[in-house]
Structure 1
Amino acid sequence: MNRSIVPAGLEVQIGLELMIIPQYFRLLELQIILYAVDKIYSDFYQDLKGRVNFTSNGIVSGDASIKIRNVRPADSGTYLCKVKKVPGVAKTTVQLTVEAQGETVHLPCTFTFISKDQGPLDIEWLRLSGPNNEAMDHVVILYSADKIHDDVYPDLKGRVYFTSNDIKSGDASINITNVQLSDAGTYQCKLKTYPGSVNMNLQLAVTNYTGSVSITTPEQTVQEARGETVHLPCTFTLSPEDRGPLFIDWIQLTGPQNEVVNRMFIVYLADKIYDNFYQDMKGRVQFTSNDIRSGEASINITNVQLSDAGTYQCGVSHAFGTAKGTIQLTVVGSHDLKIVEGPTGRLGPLPHPQANVPCSFFDEPYLMDSSRGEVKKCSMFHVEVRVC
C-alpha cells in the first residue's frame, strides 16, 4: 500500500481545513478535509473520499499532518493547511508530486532575484529525513560557480538533471528519470546567494501501479496556415472500473527534449473547463467535444498565429493512471500569389487540359482551373494546370 504524508507544522489549531491546489493550477482550491468543533469532515473531495485522514488523534496538540492512502499520480499538487483562530489565520503549503515507477518525475523550483546586486549563486537539491525533515540525508545535485555536479548521489547518478540550460534565469527545477520506489521522500531545493539563502521542500511519492489510462494522438505533426483553425487530436480510453474524476491539461513544451513546461492554456478538472490561463490564447482554444469523459480530449485553436507553433502535450490523469501524448504544430504564413500569363496570354480555357502554364508563387502552392479561369489553393508544390 502506497502512502504519502503531508506535514503541517502549525502551533495553534481550533478550526482547521486542508485543501488541495492541483499541479499547474494554482487558482482553484478544493477542500479535502476539515477539523472543526472537535469533529472531522473528509467527504468534500470525491477523488480522495475514504483515502485521506489526519495522522494524529490529538490534533489540538499541534499535529495536523494528513495521510493519503493508495496514492496516485492524480493526487499531485500543492496542499494547503489553513488554521483559523480569532483574530487571524495561519497557512502553510506542501508540494506533493506522485509519479509511477519507471517514469520521469519533475520537481519544480523557480526563483526571482529581488536585488540586482547579487553575489555568486549556489543551488543544492537535498534529500531530507526525520520526523520533521530536520536531517539531511544526501546531496542530490549541485550548481556552483557556473558548474553542475550531478554525480554526488550514487543512487541517482545518471538519472537526475536540471531542466533548464539557463539556471540563472530563475529555473532550478530538476527531473529524475526512471523513478523508483526507493526515490520517494522529501526533497529540498536550496538557493544560496548574497546575503542569505532560501529553500523549498517537495514531497515525492512513487507508486508501483502501472496506470489504467491509454492515450492516442494519431497525428504526430500538424501543419496549418496562419489565421485558420487548427485541430489537435487527443483521444483516451479508461479501464471499465475507472469512474473517478478526470484531470486533462493541454500544455506547450520547450527545451531540447521538450522537458520544460512553457505554458498551460486549457484544463478539464472536476467536470469544469478552465481556459483563461494564457492571455494570447484566451477565447481561441476550446475542447471539440461536449462529452470529454467519453474519451475525446481534442482541441481546436482558432485564428492560429506563427507564435502558436511548437510542441503541445495532452495529459490525462485519472485515478492511478496518467498518460501523455505530444503533437508538433507548425504554422505557415499566408502568402499572396502572382500568376504569370500563360501561352494564350489570358486566364481562360487552354488547348490541353493538362498543359503546363508558367506560375510563380511565394511559398503557398496553387492550381489554376483551365476551364474556368479560376485560381485554387492546393496542398502540393508541383503546380500545373488541371481541373481541380
Structure 2
Amino acid sequence: MVVTPEKVNAVAGSKILLPCSYTCTISGVTHTLVEWFRMMDGREEERIYKFPNGDEWPLHATWMGDVSKCDASITVSDIKTNDSGRYRCEVTVYPQKKHDIGYLQLNVNSPSEFAVVTPDKMDAMAGTTFLLPCSYTCTISGVTHTLVEWLRIIDGREERIYQFSEGESSHWPLHATSVGNVSKCDASINVSDIQTHDSGRYRCEVSVYPQNKQDIGYLQLIVHPRTDLAVVTTDAKDTTVGSTALLPCSYTCNITGIRHTLVEWFRTIDGHDEKVYKTTHRKSLRPLQVTWVGNDSTCDASITISNIQTHDAGRYRCEVTIYRHDKPTMEDIGYLQLNVPNEPEPRDATPTPTPTPAPAPVAGIVLGVIAALLVVAVVVGFYCWKKRQSQAREPEVPPQEMQPMNPIG
C-alpha cells in the first residue's frame, strides 16, 4: 500500500518535498521501481521522476527516499505557480510484481498569498530537545485570531501533538512547547526528550480568522539513536576581564570500538577560523592561555582560558572526532558564544571615596608655613645647643684662699 498526503502547499520559488511511503511488510523484495507523474490542466500525465534511474524531466526533481525504509519521496526545486496540479507516486516491487499508487494535490501559492513554510527534512538526536520550525505569510491584514495545530503521521495514523489558540496550549503524546510568536507569523514548537520512535512525518496547520485562510506545511523528522556521536556545549558563556573562563564541552560516551579520540577547539574571528587547542599537542596554539581540563574517560572535552580580555570574546566551537577499529570515523561539532564586557564588574557595591586634592594656591601656602616653622625650630635648637656647649667649656673659678688677718689691721 502506497501512502501520500492528500494535499501539499508550497510557495513559489521554494523547494518542496513530495512525500510518499509504502508498506514494508513484504519479504523477499529484490528490486523496487518508483515513478512520479503529474497531470496539469487536464492534459495527459507526464513522468517527472524515475527511481533507480534517477532521470529528470520537466521538473528539477531530486530523490530523497530510501527503499530500505520504504520511502519513495522526492523534492522539487524552484517550484512555480504553474506547477500546481495532481501528482501520483507509483511503487512496484519485484519479483512479487506488487503495485500501488498514491495521489497528491500540489498547490503552489505566490509569495503574496497565505502560505505555511516548513523545512522538507530534519535530523535529530534521541534524548534531546528539538525545534520543529514553521512560519507563514505575514502579508494578510485584519487578522484577529490565529489557530496553530501540529500533527504527526506514524504507521499511517495521524495524531495531534500540539495546539495553540488564543495563548492557550495543550500537550498530547509528545512533550511539546510553543516557541513561536503569532505576531511574527512564527508557529514553531520545541519537542523535549525526543526518541527514535518519534521519527515520522509532521505537519503544521495554520488558520487565520476572520479571513478563514488555511495552509499546511509538511516536515520529515528522522531521530537518530544515541549511539551516534553527539557533541554538547552551552549556547553562551558570560565572563569578566581578567578572570578564568570554563568552556564546557562533552560528547556521547556509549560508542564502542574507539581507537583514538581527537578534540580541537576553534575561534571564529572576522569570518576566519583560528585553532586554539588540539589534544594531540596538549597546549595552547596561540597567545590565549588555554588549559585542558577535559577527561577522555568521561567524554569531557572542556578547556579553560585564563586572564580573559575583551578581544577574546567571540564564537568558539568544539570539534570531536572519534576514530574506530574497522569502522567509519565519527565527527560532531558544538558551538559556544563567549561574551566579555568591556570593563570588569566592581567587586564592592559601595565604591571607596577618592580624596579631593587641595587647590594649588592653598597647597603652596600650607607648605610655606610648614617650611618657616621648620627653619625657626632649627635656629632655636641650634642656639640652645651652642649655649650648652659654651657653658660646658667655661672653667670653674677656685675659691680664694683665706689670708691671715693683720693683727694690726
Bin for the TM-score computed over the shorter chain: 0.3 to 0.5
**TM score, norm. by length of structure 2:** 0.41
Structure number with greater Rg is: 2
